[in-house]
């Protein structure tokens, strides 16, 4: 039976060239974990939601004006002060901040972003060679940032476009020794493949900081300090290891195993 999955399609619903890979990773991971076909459904018709800062959409899960129950697997919040209905089936959420915003006691809910299972999705495909020292993944609002243009001219640096097809983005991330990203799912997929990475902040106030705090809480970590636009603009491939710094993702395999174990029986 086909799983009806809600994910954020954004402008990609009308223009395939504007499909943010992090959002469109969701159906691929759900299909892999469930071994069932997946199709998009609007929130009021969906069975399930997974990857993305989409928990604020849960209030729209209604049919004939009556509240519906969704299966939630790894979705997250993007702002403090929200309250999410306790009526849903909460199998996993992205982090501790999301869990704390669920009204009542959600029970034993796994923590983690399902994008961490990208390596499992890739299994059976050849692993690409390491062609670049540094990969830079700007969020779609940062694609034209001056710092991105400056670092793009450096040898050994690859600029990875979040609007590339999902498989192409995953291949490019694996081809880099280090990653700097203002896209959260750029960091998450780098974690999935064990590529040391660090956040770079290029657009003040345009991208939620709270969702990064939520993501790292699944590892029991505070969010690592991010780099700024000046750091990226001045970066060279030779600086990559120093800029990434002391990279560590404790409990990564435990988080991934917990996500797979928590996948709902639909």
pLDDT tens across 125-180, in order? Answer: 999 999 999 999 999 999 999 999 999 999 999 999 999 999 999 999 999 999 99
Residues facing residue 73 across a β-bridge: 92
**For 65-120, what is each residue's pLDDT tens digit?**
667 899 999 999 999 999 999 999 999 999 999 999 999 988 899 999 999 999 99
Average pLDDT value over all residues in the chain = 96
CB burial readout 156-192, b (16+ within 10 A) else e: ebbbbebbeebeebbbbbbbbbbbbbbbbbbbbbbbb
Amino acid 130: pLDDT: 98
Joined together, the tokens standing for residue 46 give 């969906």
90 backbone dihedrals φ, ψ, rounded to 5°: -95, 105
Amino acid 260: pLDDT: 99
**For 3-62, what is each residue's pLDDT tens digit?**
999 999 999 899 999 999 999 999 999 999 999 999 999 999 999 999 999 999 998 887
**For 210-231, what is each residue's pLDDT tens digit?**
999 999 999 999 999 999 999 9
Joined together, the tokens standing for residue 212 give 């990064």
**For 179-214, what is each residue's pLDDT tens digit?**
999 999 999 999 999 999 999 999 877 788 999 999
Amino acid 100: pLDDT: 97
Q: What is the dihedral of CA 61, 82, 210, 119, to 10 degrees?
A: -30
d(CA 213, CA 211): 5
Confidence of residue 266 (pLDDT cuts 50, 70, 90): confident
Amino acid 64: pLDDT: 62
Residues 6+ apart with CB under 8 A from 130: 175, 176, 177
Domains and CATH numbers, the chain: 3-115+255-261 (no CATH), 120-250 (3.40.50)
Q: How many CA atoms lie within 13 A of 248 on its CB side?
A: 8
């Amino acid at each position: 039976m086909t799983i009806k999955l809600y994910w954020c399609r954004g402008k990609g619903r009308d223009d395939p060239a504007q499909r943010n890979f992090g959002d469109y990773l969701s159906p691929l991971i759900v299909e892999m974990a469930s071994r069932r076909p997946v199709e998009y459904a609007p929130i009021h018709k969906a069975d399930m939601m997974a990857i993305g800062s989409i928990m604020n959409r849960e209030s729209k899960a209604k049919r004939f004006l009556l509240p519906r129950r969704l299966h939630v697997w790894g979705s997250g919040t993007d702002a403090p002060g929200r309250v999410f209905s306790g009526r849903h089936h909460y199998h996993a959420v992205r982090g501790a901040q999301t869990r704390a915003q669920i009204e009542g006691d959600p029970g034993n809910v796994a923590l983690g972003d399902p994008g961490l299972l990208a390596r499992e999705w890739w299994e059976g495909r050849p692993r690409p060679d390491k062609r670049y020292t540094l990969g830079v993944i700007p969020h779609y609002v940062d694609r034209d940032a001056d710092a991105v243009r400056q670092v793009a001219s450096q040898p050994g640096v690859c600029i990875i476009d979040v609007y590339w097809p999902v498989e192409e983005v995953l291949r490019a991330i694996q081809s880099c020794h280090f990653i700097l990203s203002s896209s959260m799912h750029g960091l998450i997929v780098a974690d999935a493949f064990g590529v040391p990475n660090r956040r770079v902040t290029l657009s003040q106030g345009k991208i939620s900081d709270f969702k990064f705090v939520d993501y790292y809480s699944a590892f029991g970590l505070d969010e690592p300090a991010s780099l700024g636009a000046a750091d990226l603009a001045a970066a060279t491939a030779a600086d990559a290891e120093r800029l990434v710094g002391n990279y560590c993702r404790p409990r990564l395999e435990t988080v991934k195993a917990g996500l797979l174990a928590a996948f709902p029986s639909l």
